[in-house]
Structure 1
Amino acid sequence: MNERPDGYTHRMTQEGRRTGRDETEEERADRMWAELIQEVRVAQTGVQILFGFLLTVVFQAKYATLAHLDQVIYIVTVVLGACATGALIGPVSLHRLVAGRRVKPQAVRLASRMTFVGLLLLLATMTSSLLLVLRVATHDPYVPWLVAGVVTWYLLCWYALPLWARRQHTSGPHETSGRPDRPAEPHK
């Protein structure tokens, strides 16, 4: 073990590369919780603004003139937004209800899953919002193709690139998958 100037220690391989953190399960859970909450703050802000805007649309005069299909898309979008909001705020409620109960590693895993589901729901909300807005704004047949292109971009930015980076930069059995309950798969 080598000690850094800031007092932390870390394991070293024969080549001198850092291979992990020397932390207890509780320390790891505390660190991962802090990281997760920072990530959730970004998503929460976006979903809350979008959801708040969606709630006002039905009160606009133009809503009554929308085609039935557009009204259905709107209702689906609002429900998806409500579900995304619930999933992304869920970790805060979870933390409040289990704080001090010595279950932080389990809470981190559950909150991480809620956040992932919330991001999927946010993706669905943004997709249906974009579909509705472009249908009402343009009435053009290319709208589904444009929405598909944007969704592909979201999938690339939110999932494909992060998964690629995880695969590319996971170099050994000492690195973790970001889950306190199991190590990452070694890079092949």
Structure 2
Amino acid sequence: MSIAAPPRRPPHQITRNLNELLQELRVMQTGVQILTGFLLTVPFTDRFVRLTTFQQRLYLGILCAAVLTTLIIVAPVCFHRVLFRKGRRDWIVAAAQLCALAGLIGLALVSTAVVLLVFDVVLGGTAALVAAAAVALAFIVMWAVVPLSGRGRER
């Protein structure tokens, strides 16, 4: 996949944009890494063997999604390190922007799926679907509708 660099901007603006993106990614990294670490412990509990086949497969899907989300949100750090002092900051900022957006989507999906799994284990399928739908809707509203509704307004 080729990531096109945005139009040339002043070096100080590129540096500021990169620093802001890396800070945002650090916030996501903490949440995703804690969630992934917790997920890694689940199969080693006594109760795991009592999960249904659906619940075990859902768990494995969630674990894979959490690991992939971690990969996506840590990738810009690798991009920066590999391309350090190579004059590629425009590309790094563009790639980090895509990773940040993909990481947010991954975090929302993983969080929603975790709610689905936990509610399914505790209360059953119908409650799980309702809870997961409510969480998904909350993510959509808070992470898409709210910021997009403020887009284009005067500062």
TM-score by length of 2: 0.90
1:167 CA displacement: 3.0
1:140 CA displacement: 5.4
User: What residue number does 2:37 align with?
Assistant: 52
Q: Unpaired segments of 5 or more residues in structure 1?
A: 1-23, 171-188
1:104 correspondence with 2:89: yes
Query: Where in structure 2 are the equivalents of 1:108-127 lying within 5 Å?
Result: 108-127=93-112
1:67 correspondence with 2:52: yes
Deviations 1:37-95 (A, max 9, x none): 11111100000000000010011111111000000110000000000000011111111
Q: Note the aligned Cα RMSD (angstroms).
A: 1.3
Identity %: 31
Distance 1:76 1:140, change over 3 A: closer
Q: Provide runs of 4+ in structure 1 moved above 6 Å.
A: none
Question: Where is the strand percentage greater, Structure 1 or Structure 2?
Answer: 1
> Which SS does the other structure have where 2:126 is aligned?
coil
Greater RCO, CA 8 A, separation 6+: 2
Deviations 1:8-48 (A, max 9, x none): xxxxxxxxxxxxxxxx5211110101111111111000000
Q: Unpaired segments of 5 or more residues in structure 2?
A: 1-8
* CA distance in structure 2 between the partners assigned to 1:58 and 1:142 by the alignment: 23
* CA distance in structure 2 between the partners assigned to 1:140 and 1:119 by the alignment: 26
Question: Where is the helix percentage greater, Structure 1 or Structure 2?
Answer: 2
Greater Rg, structure 1 or structure 2? Answer: 1
- Assess if the C-alpha contact under 8 Å between 1:80 and 1:121 holds in 2: yes
* CA distance in structure 2 between the partners assigned to 1:169 and 1:120 by the alignment: 27
Q: How many residues align?
A: 147
- Assess if the C-alpha contact under 8 Å between 1:29 and 1:105 holds in 2: yes
User: What residue number does 1:84 align with?
Assistant: 69
